[in-house]
Amino acid sequence: MTPIKFNLPDHVSGDTFDGMRFVLTLNDVPMDITDAVIVLTAVGESDTIVLDNDAVTPEIAIIDAPNGIFEISKQIITGISTSYTYSIKITFDSGDIKTYIYGGWTIYQI
């Protein structure tokens, strides 16, 4: 699986991020993400944002595991004003780790 480059929409720090839904496929066939751990890590010049589905209050939700559907949940996102480089990594039940998507994400302080 080759990671897909996608820049997240710009965001104002402290505002509600509306969420995004993803479908994980391989050769157009949904990948089973049952018991997977999904982590979005955004790294800025002096700040890091981590969202995952393995926290007490998960920021990422698996919606339909057998069909590879997950989403970054609607939530308030804060960060310093900077351009981040992010990736979404999935650790499958088998122990395999794959980077699904990566790109840029700019957060502004207004």
Q: Give the strand pairing for 37-43 and 29-30.
A: unpaired
pLDDT at 54 over 90: no
pLDDT of residue 95: 96
Global confidence as pTM: 0.91
- What residue type is 57 in one-letter code? T
Q: Is 24 exposed, middle or buried (0-12, 13-18, 19+ CB in 10 A)?
A: buried
For domain 4-108, the CATH architecture is Sandwich (2.60)
pLDDT of residue 2: 84
